[in-house]
Amino acid sequence: MKIDAVKRSGVLLIILALMAGSAWAAWEWQANAYGQQLATKEAAHQTERTNLANANSAQTLAEQGKRLALEQWLAASDQSHYRALTDERTKQARLRDRLATADLRLSVQLDAGATGCDAMQAATSTGGVVYGAHRAQLDPAHAQRIIGITGDGDQGLIALQACQAYAKGVSGTKQKERPKLDASTSSPATKPAD
């Protein structure tokens, strides 16, 4: 009976060893299968993250390009309006100088029916004075003030035009219609108004 008990113990031990071996093999196989699934999911997740990062980078670059184009357009617009304002100020200063040196005299046309005033007859000149109209010369100080007022008005009109152009340009940028610079002229490309 001892041999039977030893045989049974040996068979039981072999069965237990086979069961442990098969459990270990199954455990390893499942670990390998799960490892592969996790690796596949991790690779897919990494690919998705890479694609999102690339899309985000592309969008950032596109926004930077649009911002740069807008900044260049605004700089060109500012420069052109500053140039117009400077030119107008220069014209105004020249006109003041001509008035101060009596090189140019401002006059007003008098009513033809007016009598009893010191109206003078103006001859035709290169300045385009109407021939034969009764004219009176203005005092140089008054002429300077009039030129100053008209100069302020001109500067106001130039500033208003700059504001209108800016508002029109900015309002056009709301829907992907930002101004783009024309490479050949380095000036903002014109867009049709909506």
Q: In whole angstroms, give the CA distance from residue 80 to residue 161.
A: 11
Backbone dihedral angles phi then psi of residue 70, each to the nearest 5 degrees: -65, -40
Higher pLDDT, 151 or 25: 25
Q: Taking the alpha carbons of 97, 135, 120, 146 in that order, is the dihedral positive or negative?
A: negative
pLDDT of residue 152: 84
Nearest to 144 by CA among 182, 102, 109: 102
Q: Please write the tens of the pLDDT for every residue from 126-151.
A: 555 455 567 777 777 787 788 888 88
Q: Please write the tens of the pLDDT for every residue from 154-171.
A: 888 888 888 888 888 778
The SS3 of residue 121 is strand
pLDDT of residue 96: 78
Each domain of the chain, given as residue ranges in start order, spans 2-175
pTM as predicted: 0.43
Which residues 6+ apart lie within 8 Å of 88 measured at CB? 151, 154, 155, 158
pLDDT of residue 116: 53
